Structure 1
Amino acid sequence: MKKTIFLGLAMLFATLSFAQNNRSTAEVFLQITKPGKYTVYLDDELVSSATGRFRFYDVYNSKPMLSIMQGNRLMLKEQLNVNAQERLIVGFDNGRLNVIKQLSLFRNNQYALDDFYGYSEPYNTGISPRPDRGPVRNYTLMSPEAFYQFFSLYKKERFDDGRSRLIKATGKNASFSTEQIRYLLKEFSFDDQRLETAKYLYAKTIDTQNYTLLAETFRFSSSKDDFLNFIAKE
């Protein structure tokens, strides 16, 4: 009898230990570039924010429904694909939802992520825990409020060379999303400066997988071809 009870307890502890180590949850983080007051649903969970950043922890559904509301207006409703033990970071702007990053939650059985875009120290080694996804880079993306203030100043520049100087000065300490860069490039008057800036900002963007979408900002096919050839070589 005692042997049976002991065996049962051992099996129970083993099951609990397995459940503890079998982390099946995920995280979904959303960045909205355009300033404003938004309400975001992930399935039935609700988050409201005026900062443009929304965080959903303990996501069990592998295909949750994301809904973005501004006031009573539905801006987007889209189903996501979420992997267990990963943080999915997506960005919303201009009516589109783009994947920015997918990061593993754990390194060496320890939670390893910072408050939004990357790995916290001492886990920010630049080495990807998923070799198939390439190296992990640490970014400091401008918040929607900071970008709005910068863009207001940027639009006051009358000439392309002044716009370029502002971008390079700001880019020393900040990164951008593809959508933010699209706003910047559209303000240029000429394709030559637009192309030079687009090449410079490639290393400063957090979602290079979306960078080809910027081809639409060029007025001439030769500039567009030069831009796409540049990306193909990176």
Structure 2
Amino acid sequence: MKKTIFLGLAMLFATLSFAQNNRSAAEVFLQITKPGKYTVYLDDEVIGSATGRFRFYDVYNSKPELSIIQGDRLILKERINVNAQERLILGFDNGRLNVIKQLSLFRNNQYALDDFYDYTENLNTAPIQPTLADLNYRLLSPEAFQEFYTSYKKSSFDSERVRLINAVNKKASFSSSQCKLILKAFTFDTERSKTAKSLYQTVVDPQNYFTIAEIFEFFNYKDDFLKYLEKQ
């Protein structure tokens, strides 16, 4: 009897030890841009928040189902692809789910990530060359963007709008849908085109930036903008 108990304990400790050292799990983080109270499901796990940020740890399903509910209304239900030992950071904006970043959970056998978007600054690891997205990505919180946009809408001239955009864009980045919203307010395509090209350098989801083309009033500016994207 004692041998059976000891054997069972040994197997339990071995299982626990394996689980602690098993790094096949992933993380899924979600940022919802539009302010509001949401409930988010990842398979059977549920998180409610009014801050727009949702964190799911220890994700083992490589294709979990993500559902977003606002109030009592289901606004998204979609399968996502998750890689082991990575944090998948998603953005939900204007009814569309976008991949913002994919970060490795570990560096030199140490958990390496901060509380949401990036690697911890003080981690003592060998240096890794940052990507352009790592250097430029500082997405505004929904609250901060709303404050910016409230002030921005009061601008009467394109020159004022450019100054406001540049002031924010120096330290933060916009999503494609946010860029579309603020560029649509421009009076003239000339300044709209210049600013659209400038914002592309730091936009968090460049794969969606082609949607900006539809806000140009004249075909030649639209065509020029699309040619610009082709070259990037």
State TM-score, norm by structure 2: 0.86
Q: Which residue of the partner structure matches residue 73 of structure 1?
A: 73
The number of equivalent residue pairs is 221
- Structure 1, residues 163-184: CA drift from partner, whole Å, max 9, x if none? 1110001111211122221211
Root-mean-square deviation over aligned CA pairs = 2.5
- Structure 1, residues 120-163: CA drift from partner, whole Å, max 9, x if none? 114595526xxxxx555142211000000110110111221111
Whole-Å Cα distance in 1 between the matches of residues 203 and 108 of structure 2?
28
> Do 1:33 and 1:180's aligned partners in 2 also have CA atoms closer than 8 Å?
no
TM superposition shift of 1:12:
10
User: Structure 1 residues 210 and 28 mapped into 2: Cα distance closer, same or farther (>3 Å)?
Assistant: same
TM superposition shift of 1:21:
3.8
Amino acid at match of 1:199: K
State TM-score, norm by structure 1: 0.85
Deviation beyond 3 Å, 4+ runs, structure 1? 11-22, 122-126
User: Structure 1 residues 136 and 178 mapped into 2: Cα distance closer, same or farther (>3 Å)?
Assistant: closer
Whole-Å Cα distance in 1 between the matches of residues 222 and 112 of structure 2?
40
Q: Which residue of the partner structure matches residue 228 of structure 1?
A: 226
Q: Which residue of the partner structure matches residue 5 of structure 2?
A: none
Q: Which residue of the partner structure matches residue 102 of structure 1?
A: 102
> Do 1:126 and 1:135's aligned partners in 2 also have CA atoms closer than 8 Å?
no
Whole-Å Cα distance in 1 between the matches of residues 68 and 15 of structure 2?
39
Q: Which residue of the partner structure matches residue 117 of structure 1?
A: 117
> Do 1:142 and 1:176's aligned partners in 2 also have CA atoms closer than 8 Å?
yes
Q: Which residue of the partner structure matches residue 7 of structure 1?
A: none
Whole-Å Cα distance in 2 between the matches of residues 206 and 101 of structure 1?
9
TM superposition shift of 1:18:
5.9
TM superposition shift of 1:219:
2.3
Q: 1:137 aligns with which of 125, 134, 155?
A: 134
Q: Which residue of the partner structure matches residue 178 of structure 2?
A: 180
Identity %: 67
TM superposition shift of 1:225:
2.1
What is the DSSP-based 3-state SS (H/G/I as helix, E as strand, rest coil) of the residue aligned with 2:28? strand
Whole-Å Cα distance in 2 between the matches of residues 233 and 216 of structure 1?
19
